[in-house]
Amino acid sequence: MPMRERTGLDAAALLVLRAANETGVLDALVERAGTPAEVAAETDVTEAAAERTVGILADLGFLKRVGGEYEPTNRALGLLAKRDVRSVGAVPHALDVADALVALPGTMETGVPPEAPEDATANRLGAHAATDESVVRACVTAAVRAAPDAERVLDLCGGSGTYAAEFADRGRDVTLVDSPAVVEAVAPLHDRPDVRLHDGPPTTLEGSFDLAFGARVAGGMDPTEIGSLLEAARDALAPGGTLCLADVLADGSDAAVTADAVGLATGHGGAYDAERYREWFEEAGFVDVRIEPVPGTDRRAVSAVA
């Protein structure tokens, strides 16, 4: 999904927010400064720049005027929230992506992307948790249609657990697998018995699953990683089980171009075409590969039988 739809910010607004963050304007406003003059005094920006930046941030909903001063809104405070990924929102991850895109010329010349920021995982999970509910429902519906009788679901690289929760709401028993750092971050959000968390590869799980699912997972991986993911999913599935990946495929759309640009800037992932998905699934031992649009989204569901 293009960044504006996820964050409510177009490229210009996002870059102004990035500049406010880089120059310390945002920190000054959140912590102590209430006027453009105080912002200029606390930072190295000019008072004219501070006045215009504060005005833009207010127009974007990050500040509100109270009396003669500006105060941060919950949207601004969300930029600093890290403990509960539901409070982070999509904007911090969008800023991380903007940083990578700004550094793209150097990455293209050296082949080495910039190091991920310290809060990259929390920011990514915040964006994942902020996925539009209609998109979550549509992707889960596509998976359920591919495997209508599935009872045990494996949520691959399940992130914040927003998809796992949707499966559970539909009566499925769900196991979310992801890295230890991710599971630790999202564990406080999931105390229901029908959503289990596993901080390791699917191969270390007991039993087998009827459906393995991944949302925007393959698009963040390189081909070798995708191959390993598909093999792990196949091994975790019961005979006749279904794998369904809901992702942005290469089709010339805005979402596909964005996915490729982000993959170029971060050094991994992108939008892959339907034929490559078909080949990867078949090489991993899956049959009856189907690729269908996910209605109301920019994604397609790639499903197959183990």
Report residues of the chain scoring pLDDT below 50.
1-5
pLDDT, residue 132, reads 95
Kindly state whether residues 95 and 217 are assigned to the same domain. Answer: no
Kindly state whether residues 181 and 286 are assigned to the same domain. Answer: yes
Kindly state whether residues 118 and 148 are assigned to the same domain. Answer: no
DSSP sequence for the chain: --HHHHHS--HHHHHHHHHHHHTTHHHHHHHT--SHHHHHHHSSS-HHHHHHHHHHHHHTTSEEEETTEEEE-HHHHHTT--SSGGGT-SHHHHHHHHHHHHTHHHHHHHS-PPPPPTTHHHHHHHHHHTS-HHHHHHHHHHHHHHSTT--EEEEET-TTSHHHHHHHHTT-EEEEE--HHHHHHHGGG---TTEEEE-S-GGGSSS-EEEEEEES-GGGS-HHHHHHHHHHHHHHEEEEEEEEEEE-BSSS-HHHHHHHHHHHHHTS---B-HHHHHHHHHHTT-EEEEEEE-TTSS-EEEEEE-
Last residue of a domain, one of 109, 127, 145: 127
Last residue of a domain, one of 69, 100, 127: 127
Kindly state whether residues 216 and 292 are assigned to the same domain. Answer: yes
pLDDT, residue 7, reads 58
pLDDT, residue 4, reads 46
What CATH number has the domain bearing residue 169? 3.40.50.150
pLDDT, residue 200, reads 87
How far apart, in whole angstroms, are the C-alpha atoms of residue 214 and residue 1? 16
**Structural domain that includes position 78:** 3-127
Residues shown for the chain? 306
pLDDT, residue 266, reads 94
Kindly state whether residues 93 and 196 are assigned to the same domain. Answer: no
Last residue of a domain, one of 127, 158, 181: 127
Q: How many domains does the chain have?
A: 2
Kindly state whether residues 100 and 140 are assigned to the same domain. Answer: no
Kindly state whether residues 28 and 57 are assigned to the same domain. Answer: yes
Kindly state whether residues 161 and 293 are assigned to the same domain. Answer: yes
pLDDT, residue 80, reads 76
How far apart, in whole angstroms, are the C-alpha atoms of residue 129 and residue 134? 13
Kindly state whether residues 282 and 136 are assigned to the same domain. Answer: yes
Kindly state whether residues 70 and 214 are assigned to the same domain. Answer: no
Kindly state whether residues 210 and 251 are assigned to the same domain. Answer: yes
Kindly state whether residues 83 and 206 are assigned to the same domain. Answer: no
Residue 176 falls in which region: left (phi positive, over 0), alpha (psi -120 to 50) or beta: beta
What tens digit of pLDDT does each residue of 263-286 get? 999 999 999 999 999 999 999 999
What tens digit of pLDDT does each residue of 125-178 get? 999 999 999 999 999 999 999 999 999 999 999 999 999 999 999 999 999 999
